[in-house]
A and B are shown apart, each in its own frame.
Chain A
Amino acid sequence: GENVEQHPSTLSVQEGDSAVIKCTYSDSASNYFPWYKQELGKRPQLIIDIRSNVGEKKDQRIAVTLNKTAKHFSLHITETQPEDSAVYFCAAKDSGDYKLSFGAGTTVTVRA
């Protein structure tokens, strides 16, 4: 099955700086890579996703890049703000089934 590894597990950044979270996946058949944000005590919510036929996607201050050859994808948050503090999860889905495999999560803290 799919194995998703996520790094780092914790990340502390100064407000206004950028944050980068990286994930690797094992199954070359995976074709969908979402990122979820979970604020303390809340449910996970999708913030951005990318399909395997696209190399990069951007939505305001967040962007995701995908390298299919190396089997890794990254989340980039620019101009971080205190409200960006949360746990971020990457995930990968195999094109052949309905399983969604998540990484272990990255706790991001934005220092004012």
Chain B
Amino acid sequence: EAQVTQNPRYLITVTGKKLTVTCSQNMNHEYMSWYRQDPGLGLRQIYYSMNVEVTDKGDVPEGYKVSRKEKRNFPLILESPSPNQTSLYFCASSPPSGGFGAEQYFGPGTRLTVT
């Protein structure tokens, strides 16, 4: 089954404790992205990757890191989480779009709480 998976689905942690949220897709998509969803703010892009070893900042990259060592995986790293990073996080992937855009397939989401 074609899908995007994220782990963990729920995480409660404390300020400053490094964490990684994993994202994996089995559709051989080149493009992957991370979003955070907060009430009243919609989905905001954190980082995206056009292919292996190619990443770029989205609209809200501060406090986050990413890596793309394999095509299927795109982990999100919070080196020193803070309470303002409490949010619902989505990973997404999509195929090449030929200059336009293509459907993004979202993972199930990770609910992160930083105390």
Contacts and interface: CB of A to CB of B under 8 A. Distances in A.
A49 B43 contact: no
Contacts of A52: 100
B42 A102 contact: yes
Nearest to A95: B99
A102 B100 contact: no
A98 B103 contact: no
Given A43-B107, A43-B109, A34 B43 contact: no
Q: Interface range on chain A: under 10, 10 to 19, 20 to 34, or 35 or more?
A: 20 to 34
Contacts of A103: 42
B67 interface: no
B44 interface: yes
B16 to A, nearest CB: 29
Contact of B100 (A51, A99, A101): A51
Nearest to B97: A32
Contacts of A93: 100-101
Contact of B59 (A45, A91, A98, A101): A101
Given A32-B97, A51-B100, A98-B50, A45 B106 contact: yes
Contacts of A31: 99-101
A25 interface: no
Interface in B57-75: 58-59
Q: Which 4 A-B pairs have the closest CB atoms?
A: A32-B101, A43-B106, A104-B42, A102-B43
